[in-house]
């Protein structure tokens, strides 16, 4: 229903950054990250400095990577190929998050999200930098960030819960 109404509004102004990001959010909520990504790529080709669209694009790429992980038990694709695709999606998302960091350096959720995915790539020093930055920006939300810092060298993934808590 929401998608229909946003699409009607978009028919009036196809490249409204606000409308495109809202439609993208709806598509992402419907587990359609590829559709959302296509739309966001069009917007970012016209308006490359839209931090909300960049952040949403990163989330689309992350959701696509998570879907890819769910296919990891499929015999159709080798484990090596899945890892390579996963890494590529995460790296593309990190590029988008870096744009948001450059534009809005005081956004805690961007730094914690960036740290989570840098950790997944094994880039622990960079992940530590982003966790520390997030902690400096928002000491009130420090307990979860500190827990992630303490678990940086383990395979425990407290990051999802921490990011949700930080967004609140």
pLDDT at 1 over 90: no
Q: In this structure, are 99 and 117 located in the same domain?
A: no
Q: Spell out the alpha helix ranges (H) of 13-123.
A: 17-29, 33-46, 51-70, 79-103, 108-120
Q: How far is CA 82 from CA 59, 86, 94, 128, in A?
A: 19, 6, 18, 26
Q: In this structure, are 35 and 85 located in the same domain?
A: yes
Cα-to-chain-centroid distance, residue 152: 19
Q: In this structure, are 99 and 141 located in the same domain?
A: no
**What confidence tens digit (pLDDT) does each residue in 130-163 have?**
999 999 999 887 888 989 899 998 876 655 554 4
**What confidence tens digit (pLDDT) does each residue in 69-88 have?**
776 655 556 778 888 999 99
Of the chain, the percentage scoring pLDDT greater than 90 comes to 52
Number of domains making up the chain: 2
Which residue shows structure tokens 């808590």? 165
- Four-CA torsion 59, 64, 66, 68, nearest 10 degrees: -170
Residues 92-116 as b/e (b if ≥16 CB within 10 A, e otherwise) read bbbebbebbbeeeeebbbbbbbbbb
The mean pLDDT of 88-98, rounded to a whole number, is 96
Task: Kindly report the length of the chain.
Answer: 168
Residue 88: the pLDDT is 95
Domain span at residue 61 reads 1-104
Q: How far is CA 121 from CA 105, 126, 133, 161, in A?
A: 22, 10, 19, 19
pLDDT at 7 over 90: no
Q: In this structure, are 88 and 136 located in the same domain?
A: no
**What confidence tens digit (pLDDT) does each residue in 9-26 have?**
656 666 677 888 888 899
Residue 168: the pLDDT is 42
Residue 159: the pLDDT is 54
């Amino acid at each position: 229903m929401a998608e229909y109404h946003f699409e009607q509004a978009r028919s009036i102004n196809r490249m409204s950054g606000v409308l495109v990001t809202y439609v993208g959010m709806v598509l992402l909520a419907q587990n359609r990250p590829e559709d959302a990504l296509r739309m966001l790529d069009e917007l970012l080709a016209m308006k490359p400095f839209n931090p909300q669209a960049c952040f949403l694009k990163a989330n689309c790429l992350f959701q696509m990577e998570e879907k890819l992980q769910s296919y990891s038990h499929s015999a159709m694709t080798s484990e090596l190929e899945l890892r390579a695709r996963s890494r590529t999606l995460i790296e593309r998302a990190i590029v988008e998050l870096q744009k948001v960091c450059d534009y809005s350096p005081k956004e805690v959720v961007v730094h914690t999200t960036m740290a989570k995915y840098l950790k997944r790539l094994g880039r622990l020093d960079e992940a530590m930098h982003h966790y520390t930055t997030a902690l400096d920006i928002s000491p009130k939300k420090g307990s979860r960030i500190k827990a992630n810092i303490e678990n940086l060298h383990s395979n425990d993934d407290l990051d999802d819960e921490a990011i949700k808590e930080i967004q609140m």
